[in-house]
Amino acid sequence: MTPKTNILLIEDDKSICNFITASLESANYRVTCAQTGKEGLSLATSLCPDVYLLDLGLPDIDGMDVLTKLRTWTSNPVIVISARTKEQEKVTALDAGADDYITKPFGTSELMARIRTALRHSRPNTHARIYKAGDLVIDFEKRLITLEGSEVHLTQIEYQLLTLLAENSGRVLTYSYIMNAIWGPYVDNNNQILRVNMANIRRKIEKSPAQPKYVFTEIGIGYRMLESET
C-alpha cells in the first residue's frame, strides 16, 4: 500500500473543516485540521504535510504571515482559500509563494483538481516533454505547436508565453510572475503588452476568443492553462 498523502488544513470554520476533511478522506488523503494559525504552524513542523490548504482569514494571525513563515522552510505546495471579491489578496498570496488559490465557496471536485495539480507540479522529474490537451499539442523539445494536427506559428514572445503557461498547466500564474519570467525584472508594471500578446495567442489557438478552450483568464489575477493530459 502506498503511503497516503498528508494534507494540513488551516481553517477556522468547523463546518468547512468537516466537509473538506470528509471529502478528502474519501479520496484517500490523510487530513489534519488546525483551527488557528499558531496551531497550523506547529502542526506543520511536526507533520511535514505534502500539501497545505490555508484560509487567509484566521482568528489569531494573518494568513499571509502563516504563508511567509511556511515559505521560510518548506517548498511543499500551499493552496490558499480566499473570498471572491478580494483579488488583491489572492495576487499578494500568489506572489508571496502560494501555489494556487481556490475561491470560497467551492465544490469538492474543484478542490481535488487543485490538489492534484499542486502535487503534480511539486514532484521533481515529472517535467513533461509534451503538453497535450484536447486538440492542442506542444512539443517542448521540437518547439512545435500543433492544433488539430496542423502547425501553429507563434512569434518568439508568444511561444515563450504559451510554453510557460503549458509547463504550469492547471495552475494560475499571476500577471507579475509572467511579466518577470518573459520580460525580466525591470519591466514596468503596465501589463498591457502581456494582454496584447495573450490576445494574439488566443486568436491563433482558440476558435472563439470569447469562449476559450485552452487559456483562461482570471480577471485581476492572471492566466491559467487547461491542465495537460500527459
Partner 1 sequence: MTQRFWKLPRYKQHLFSLLISLISMGLATGLAFMYYHVVPDNSANIALVYILALILVARYSVGYWYGVVCSVFAVICVNYLFTYPYFQINFTLTGYPITFLGMLAISLLTSTMTSHLSHQAMMIAEREKLLAEAEKEKMRANLLRAISHDLRTPLTGIIGNSSLYLENGAFLSEAEKIKIMTNIYDDSNWLLNMVENLLTVTRIKGDNLSVNTSEEPLEEVLAEALLKLQKRYPGTEVQTAIPEEFLLIPMDAILIEQVIINLLENAIVHSGTTKPIELIVTADSNAVSFTIKDYGVGIPKEHLADLFDGTSYTPSQTADARKGMGIGLSICKTILAAHHGTLIGRNHDSGAEFIFTLPRFGKS
Judged by CB under 8 A, the chain residues 74 through 133 that form the site for partner 1 are 84-85, 87, 105
DSSP track, 137-195: EEETTTTEEEETTEE----HHHHHHHHHHHHTTTSEEEHHHHHHHHH-TTS-S--HHHH
195 binds partner 1 (CB under 8 A): yes
What's the closest the beta carbon of residue 60 comes to partner 1, in angstroms? 26
Interface mask toward partner 1 for 56-85; x: CB under 8 A: ----------------------------xx
Interface residue with partner 1 among 144, 209, 229, 230 (CB under 8 A) is: 209
Smallest gap from residue 110 Cβ to partner 1 (A):
9
Nearer to partner 1, 1 or 210 (CB): 210
Do the beta carbons of residue 187 and residue 95 sit within 8 Å? no
Nearer to partner 1, 35 or 103 (CB): 103
- Residue type (1 letter), 9: L
Which of 144, 217, 229, 230 is in the footprint of partner 1 by CB under 8 A? 217
Give 107 or 144: the residue with its C-beta nearer to partner 1: 107
E strand or H helix at 100: strand 100-103
Indicate whether 144 belongs to the interface with partner 1 (CB under 8 A).
no
Give how far Cα 159 sits from Cα of 13, 97, 131, Å. 44, 25, 13
Contacts of 67 (CB under 8 A, 6+ apart): 54, 78, 80, 93, 96, 97, 98
Query: 167 vs 76, 111, 230, CA distance in Å?
Result: 18, 21, 11
Q: Which of 57, 62, 61, 60 is nearest to 81 (CA)?
A: 57
Q: Does 1 bind partner 1 (CB under 8 A)?
A: no
Shortest distance (Å) from residue 204 CB to partner 1: 13
22 is a site residue for partner 1 (CB under 8 A): no
Residues making contact with partner 1 (CB under 8 A)? 84-85, 87, 105, 192, 195-196, 198-199, 202, 208-212, 216-220
